[in-house]
Amino acid sequence: MFGSGIKNLSVSVDRLNEKNTFSSGDQVTGRISFEITKQTKITSITVALAGVAHVHWSTGGGGGRRRRTTRKHHSAKMEYFNYKGVILQENGAVRGTTKLSPGTHVYPFTCQLPQGDFPSTFHGTSGRILYTLKVDIYRPWHLSKNFETELNFVHHINTNLPDLWAPLSGTNSMTLCCLCCASGPLTMTATVEKKAFIPGETVKINCNISNGSFTTATPKARLEQKQTFYTQRRERHIQAVKRFKSVSGEPVVAHTSVVQTEIRLTIPSSAYLTISNCSILEVEYKIEVSLSVRTFPDVTVLVPIILYDGSAHTNSLPLS
C-alpha cells in the first residue's frame, strides 16, 4: 500500500464516551503506528482535523442527444475548519530529514476540535457533513502517504429550553362520502409527550379518536425525515423525504363516540440528529399520526420533533 519501506500504517483514536462521538472543543487523542522494513528518511508526519459540508445534485437532462447540454449541476460547500499539527519533524534545516530504523514506530498525538456552532455528522441523498482526521507521512522524493478516518461529530443543544419538554398535539377530521351518502365525522387528536427525543427512544403517542363513520379506522404512526439541500445563496434547493416503518394501534370500530388509545413508536437508533445550523443542508423530523380507512384518504396529524444527542451539555449552543 505504501511502497518500499513503510507498511501497516494504522491510526487509533481514543474514545471519549460509549457512543464514540466528538463535539466542539473536545480533545482528540490517539496513536499512529507503522512498520519500517529498512532505514527510511522521513521529512515530517502531520495530523489534520477538518470539517466540511458539501451538497450536489443535478436537474434536467432527459433522454436523447441533448441530455449533456441541458443537464444542470447544483452544488455548494461550507468549510468549517481545517487545522494541521506536526507529530514528527526534523529540527534542523527546513529541508532536513529524520532517519527511522527498521521496526515498529508508534507516535502519540493530541489535537483539539475548535469551539464553534458546527452541525452534526450527516450522510444524505444529495449531500453530507463530514469531519475527518488525516495523517500524512512525508518522505524526500516521494508523494505523501496518508490515512484518513471519519469522526462522528455531534452538535449539542441547550436542553434547558422549556419548549423541548412541553407536550405537542394536533387535530384533524374528515367526513367519508359514498355516492350521495355522507358519514358522521372521523376525528383524531394526537398528543406527543414532548418535542426532543434521542435516537433509540420510544415515543408515546396518545390518540383521542371519534369514529362517526360507517367503517373501522386504524390508528398508525411513523417517523418522517425531510432532507433539504441548498445552493450557496439558497437560490435553488432539493428535498428528499424518508418515511420509516409504521406501527399500528388498536382499530376503532364504526359509530364510536370517543376512544383513547396509545401508540408506541421507537425512533431508530441509527437516525441522524436534527440539523438546523447549516446554511446549505437541513434535516427535520415529524411524527405522522394517521387514521387509516380502507379505500379512503387517511386522516393525518403531523407533529414536529427534534432528535438530539443524549449527552448534550446544558451550557451548549441553542437550537436555531
Dump pLDDT digits (tens) for 291-318: 988 877 889 999 999 999 987 443 344 4
Q: What is the pLDDT of residue 149?
A: 94
Per the model's pLDDT, the better-predicted residue between 101 and 231 turns out to be 231
Q: What is the pLDDT of residue 312?
A: 44
Q: How far apart are CA 287 and CA 205, in angstroms?
A: 9
Q: What is the pLDDT of residue 4?
A: 56
The domain 162-307 is classified under which CATH number: 2.60.40.640, 3.40.50.300, 1.10.150.20, 3.20.20.70? 2.60.40.640
8 A C-beta contact, residue 217 and residue 208: no
Task: List Cα–Cα distances, 73 to 36, 65, 160, 238, in angstroms.
Answer: 45, 18, 42, 12
Range of lowest pLDDT (20-29, 177-186, 271-280)? 177-186
Q: What is the DSSP letter of 252?
A: B
8 A C-beta contact, residue 219 and residue 187: no
Residues 6+ apart with CB under 8 A from 159: 196, 308, 312, 314, 316
Kindly state the average pLDDT of the residues 278-288: 97
**Sequence ranges of the chain with CATH classification 2.60.40.640:** 6-153, 162-307
- CATH of region 6-153: 2.60.40.640
67-99 pLDDT tens trace: 556 789 999 999 999 999 888 776 544 455 678
Per the model's pLDDT, the better-predicted residue between 255 and 208 turns out to be 208
Q: What is the pLDDT of residue 90?
A: 61
